[in-house]
Amino acid sequence: AAPAPAAAPAAAPKAAAVEASPLRGQTVKMTRMRKVIGENMMKALHGQAQLTSVVEVDITKIMRMRNKAKDAFAAREGVKLSPMPFFVKAAVQALKAHPVVNARINDEEGTITYFDSENVGIAVDSEKGLMTPVIKGAGDLNIAGISKKTAELAGKVRSGKISPDDLAGATFTISNTGSRGALFDTVIVPPNQVGILGIGATVKRPVVINHPELGETIAVRDMTYLALSYDHRLVDGADAARYLTTVKQLLEAAEFEAELGL
């Protein structure tokens, strides 16, 4: 018998068209919002001893759970189920066990305030620049509550209806830097906080896992990096590692079935 014809090679994906920006060659006035963002970033960097620690997390269970639950969740709750609420939920649960990351240094008084609530700033990209509305009492919310509040605040930012109160009172911040493809960033801790968690892009990669029957084997898994930037004046490297390890354990265990009705 004649040999089967070789399969045709897959066509290489075409590069996206890149168009020149109308800003090329222009000098424009810096917007008030851009000035405020810049001043806050400089204040944060100059007023703190900032350092970043990174861990790698296998979120395969989270992604499978989300895919299984997302249609029923959207019908029941009225918002889409993105991966973000899982990260927020794990992050705030870990803050309860590691309050040193959910704190504020009161420089003038020489004291430290350890917060008894988790008010989480969520970095949102907008045409006016990066804004950080706050989910108040995030530690008391379930996945649905976090999803609804995140969607509400992001909608306010992008429609220009965000209020000063919506942007105030954060004790900790989370930035989904991977939403545009970055593997991880050395995110900047905002003023009056001591920690910010950066969530990198989720990438499918071959990883060595411990299979119950096969032992150590290679499998394709959904992997992401979590980067915690922190103020080293209060948070030691061991503190940061313990916090990140707790977040990693919560995400990899993925015990959210009850909240999702699975």
200 within 8 A of 184, measured Cβ to Cβ: yes
Coil/strand/helix, residue 38? helix
The rounded Cα 95 to chain-centroid distance in angstroms is 14
pLDDT of residue 180: 83
Look at strands 120-122 and 111-114 and give their pairing.
Answer: unpaired
Distance, CA of 59 to CA of 26 (rounded, Å): 44
Q: What is the pLDDT of residue 9?
A: 63
Supply the residues annotated as catalytic.
232, 236
Please classify residue 204 by burial: count the beta carbons closer than 10 Å to its beta carbon, then call 0-12 exposed, 13-18 middle and 19+ buried: exposed
CATH 3.30.559.10 fits 32-255, yes or no: yes
Q: Where are the domains of the chain?
A: 32-255
The reported pLDDT for the residue numbered 6 is 60
Contact assessment for residue 141 and residue 122, using Cβ atoms and an 8 Å cutoff: no
Beta bridge partners of 106: 111
Round to whole Å and give the CA distance between 262 and 148: 19
With a CB cutoff of 8 Å and minimum separation 6, the contacts of 256 are: 62, 65, 86, 89, 143
Q: pLDDT tens digits for 152-201? A: 998 898 888 889 999 999 999 999 988 888 899 999 999 999 999 999 99
Question: Quick one: how far is CA 49 from the chain centroid?
Answer: 22
Q: Tens of pLDDT along the chain (262 residues)? A: 555 556 656 666 777 788 898 888 999 998 888 888 888 889 888 899 999 999 999 999 999 999 999 999 999 999 999 999 999 999 999 999 999 999 999 999 999 999 999 999 998 887 777 889 999 999 999 999 999 999 999 889 888 888 999 999 999 999 998 888 889 999 999 999 999 999 999 999 999 988 888 889 999 999 999 999 999 999 999 999 999 999 999 999 999 998 887 7
At residue 131, the pLDDT reads 86
Q: What is the pTM of this model?
A: 0.88
pLDDT at 72: 92
**What would the pLDDT profile of 44-59 be if each residue is shown by its tens digit?**
888 999 999 999 999 9
